[in-house]
């Protein structure tokens, strides 16, 4: 199939994992089996077995979750590439940005797995050394959530971490400050404030030590110029130069994920359809909140491929309509 110039690939991040993920891809694709074999070797654990069979509590560990989601996304990407389907632009949510870098030819699959292994280990260690928390604030405008965080500067570290979509902001920081921010957000009209089951304060200053360690791994990874633009989390801007992409990867752990702005930028630049590549449908749901009905398909297993083909042919999503 020829290049579809208006199609964007999106790659999910931590939280989209589930027991059984990737098994259908492994069964169907020699390329997927090769990627899982590399991952098992690099991670030093039976990542494929844990992904396919669990147990769930092991799959939820940051050091396992992150490479498991990356590898599932890369296996699904291989299915698209085998069909000759190429994106015009790519983006990934937090961890998913490393899958996007592979899709854009910036990193090899092995290099991405190696970097993400370091990233996951360092984030886990940072969470142990400096315990933190994250919480989703629902139904309060971004600027009001940011104001709450500013007002708590004297009480501890808490910052907006994920700007996911209209009325959906995740905050991150020290436990007491996050709990106080949750209370303040509800008092100011937020519909809900939900603490997230994560092992640290991701995308906050509490990840500084992890970010320093990750920078060395990124320098070793051999970033190349991108074949298509990568809309990076920290600025919501398209980047293609190797040095700029490496800098964005280094800044990501302590910077906010500007997902809503990233999606709006992709649409503004001409993306007319989206494919979420990897486990779950989180990003498809966020796109619907950000842009209303917009063509979007998901590719989680081989059985999703006809829906992607239909999207490219007719501009409809995997369920037969716009998402």
Catalytic site positions:
94, 203
Query: Would you say the C-alpha torsion 146, 151, 154, 155 has a positive or negative sign?
Result: negative
Longest dimension (CA), the chain: 57
Q: What is the DSSP track for 3-24? A: --TTEEEEE--TT---TTTTHH
Q: Give the integer Cα–Cα distance in Å for 190 and 39.
A: 41
Query: Would you say the C-alpha torsion 148, 151, 155, 160 has a positive or negative sign?
Result: positive
Whether 245 and 106 have beta carbons less than 8 Å apart is answered as: yes
Residue 17's CB is within 10 A of a number of other CB atoms, namely: 22
Q: Give the integer Cα–Cα distance in Å for 33 and 51.
A: 13
Phi and psi at residue 202, to the nearest 5°: -65, 150
The position carrying tokens 């979007």 is 296
Helices (H) and strands (E) in the chain, counts: 14, 10
Q: What is the DSSP track for 158-194? A: EEEEEEEETTEEEEEEEHHHHHHHHHHHHHTT-SEEE
- Nearest Cα neighbor of 93 from 232, 210, 291, 219 is 232
């Amino acid at each position: 199939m020829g290049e579809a110039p208006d199609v964007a690939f999106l790659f999910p991040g931590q939280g989209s994992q589930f027991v059984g993920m990737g098994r259908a891809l492994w069964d169907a694709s020699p390329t997927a089996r090769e990627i899982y074999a590399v991952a098992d070797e690099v991670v030093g654990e039976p990542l494929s077995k844990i992904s396919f069979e669990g147990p769930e509590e092991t799959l939820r560990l940051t050091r396992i979750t992150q490479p498991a989601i990356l590898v599932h996304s890369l296996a699904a990407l291989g299915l698209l590439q085998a069909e000759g389907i190429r994106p015009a632009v790519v983006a990934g949510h937090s961890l998913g940005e490393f899958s996007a870098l592979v899709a854009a030819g910036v990193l090899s699959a092995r290099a991405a797995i190696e970097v993400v292994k370091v990233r996951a280990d360092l984030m886990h260690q940072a969470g142990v050394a400096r315990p933190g928390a994250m919480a989703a604030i629902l139904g309060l405008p971004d600027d009001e959530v940011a104001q709450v965080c500013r007002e708590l500067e004297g009480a501890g570290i808490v910052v907006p971490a994920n700007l996911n979509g209209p009325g959906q902001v995740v905050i991150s920081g020290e436990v007491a400050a996050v709990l106080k921010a949750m209370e303040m957000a509800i008092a100011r009209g937020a519909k809900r404030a939900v603490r997230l089951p994560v092992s640290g304060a991701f995308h906050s200053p509490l990840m500084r030590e992890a970010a320093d360690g990750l920078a060395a791994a990124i320098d070793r990874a051999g970033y190349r110029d991108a074949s298509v633009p990568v809309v990076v989390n920290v600025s919501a801007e398209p980047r293609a130069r190797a040095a700029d992409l490496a800098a964005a990867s280094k800044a990501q752990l302590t910077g906010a994920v500007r997902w809503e702005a990233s999606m709006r930028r992709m649409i503004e630049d001409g993306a007319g359809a989206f494919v979420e590549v990897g486990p779950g449908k989180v990003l498809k749901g966020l796109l619907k909140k950000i842009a209303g009905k917009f063509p979007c398909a998901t590719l989680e297993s081989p059985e999703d491929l006809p829906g992607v083909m239909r999207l490219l042919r007719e501009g409809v999503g995997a369920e037969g309509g716009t998402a």
